[in-house]
Amino acid sequence: MTNEEEFSPSALGTKEHWDAVYSRELSSFKEYGDEGEIWFGEGSMARVIRWLNAHKVPQTASILDIGTGNGMLLVELANSGYCNLTGIDYCSDAVQLAKSICEKEGVSQNVHLQVTDFLEDFHPSKLFDICLDKGTFDAVSLDPTGATEKREQYVQSLSRALKPQGLFIITSCNWTKEELLRQFGGEFEFKDELPTPTFSFGGKAGHSVTAVVLEKRSSS
Ligand SMILES: C[S@@+](CC[C@H](N)C(=O)[O-])C[C@H]1O[C@@H](n2cnc3c(N)ncnc32)[C@H](O)[C@@H]1O
């Protein structure tokens, strides 16, 4: 994808869609103990945690997972020793599911979860060291009611949530590294790219998922 305007608005960009998804996933968890979908697979969580460990990010760092869904990334972080974790989602059933999974996994004391629309009403009392996104900016990018404006709101909310020089680690299946740098480049600078699996087609190799680390400029 080279031109952001080529994205077609989709149900995946609506709250109604995610409410329906997590209503089903919450029922399924209650009935069968099934935690539901892990977006981009287990490897996508392991990659983020490996990067944090390799860069010696303190386990007490304040970490926000934006659009946490079932909260499994937070569970994995807590199981790896990170203890200052927050997850938000605008879908109340997602937050209920994430809370239930955290309780089951015995990590609730390290994870704060809250129902919040990141674009509309997220005003944290303390700034975060690190913000994570796995699939949420992708969903926002498909909003049928004005995706370009929503993406701008996302960048503003992110900038308000992070400390100067705070890190943003985003995993996306819709955007390339270059496109992400264009979206966030005003207030953030490129720090690193996480290795993601490649696929080959017609003799060309490509990535199905992009994962990059951006750093908030100190002047923003
Ligand atoms: C593709 S899912 C990814 C969920 C989770 N990050 C994961 O990796 O499993 C996108 C998530 O973003 C949430 N979301 C979308 N727009 C949001 C917004 N404006 N504020 C908060 N959460 C939002 C959805 O409810 C959904 O949980």
Residue 76: CATH number of its domain: 3.40.50.150
Q: Can you give the pLDDT at residue 208? A: 83
Token look-up 């945690």 returns 49
Amino acid at residue number 180? L
Question: What's the Cα-to-Cα distance from 175 to each of 14, 141, 155, rounded to whole Å?
Answer: 19, 10, 15
Sign of CA dihedral 170, 175, 176, 177: negative
**Does any ligand 1 atom lie closer than 6 A to the CB of residue 139?**
yes
Q: Can you give the pLDDT at residue 2? A: 39
**Does any ligand 1 atom lie closer than 6 A to the CB of residue 118?**
yes
Q: Can you give the pLDDT at residue 161? A: 97
Q: Can you give the pLDDT at residue 165? A: 96
Q: Can you give the pLDDT at residue 205? A: 62
Q: Can you give the pLDDT at residue 3? A: 42
Q: How far is the CA of 138 from the centre of ligand 1 (A)?
A: 9
**Does any ligand 1 atom lie closer than 6 A to the CB of residue 71?**
no
| Atom from ligand 1 closest to the CA of residue 117 | 20
For the ranges 34-38, 106-110, 185-189, the lowest mean pLDDT is seen at: 34-38
Q: Can you give the pLDDT at residue 184? A: 96
Question: Is the predicted pLDDT of residue 4 greater than 50, yes or no?
Answer: no
Token look-up 């990010």 returns 57
Question: Is the predicted pLDDT of residue 200 greater than 70, yes or no?
Answer: no
116-142 pLDDT tens trace: 999 998 889 999 999 999 999 999 999
**Does any ligand 1 atom lie closer than 6 A to the CB of residue 94?**
yes
The best mutation among 25, 47, 90, 154 to test binding of ligand 1, ranked by most ligand atoms within 8 Å of the C-beta, falls on 90
* Mean pLDDT along residues 191-202: 81
- The whole-chain average pLDDT of the chain stands at 92
Q: Whose CA is nearest to atom 10 of ligand 1?
A: 136
Q: Can you give the pLDDT at residue 170? A: 98
Q: Can you give the pLDDT at residue 220? A: 59
Q: Can you give the pLDDT at residue 198? A: 73
Q: Whose CA is nearest to atom 4 of ligand 1?
A: 69
Q: Which range scores top for mean pLDDT: 30-39, 152-161, 211-220? A: 152-161
- Give the residue, 203 or 21, on which the prediction is more confident: 21
**Does any ligand 1 atom lie closer than 6 A to the CB of residue 74?**
no
Q: By the 8 A CB rule, do 118 and 133 touch? A: no
Alpha-carbon distance of 76 to 35, in angstroms, equals 13
Give me the domain span that covers residue 117: 4-197+204-216
Q: Band of the pLDDT at 202, cuts 50, 70, 90?
A: low
**Does any ligand 1 atom lie closer than 6 A to the CB of residue 115?**
no
Number of domains in the chain: 1
Q: Whose CA is nearest to atom 13 of ligand 1?
A: 67
Q: Can you give the pLDDT at residue 121? A: 81
Q: Can you give the pLDDT at residue 15? A: 95
Q: Can you give the pLDDT at residue 6? A: 46
Question: Is the predicted pLDDT of residue 5 greater than 50, yes or no?
Answer: no
State the alpha helices, DSSP H only, in 55-196.
Answer: 72-79, 92-105, 136-140, 147-161, 177-184
* Mean pLDDT along residues 160-179: 96
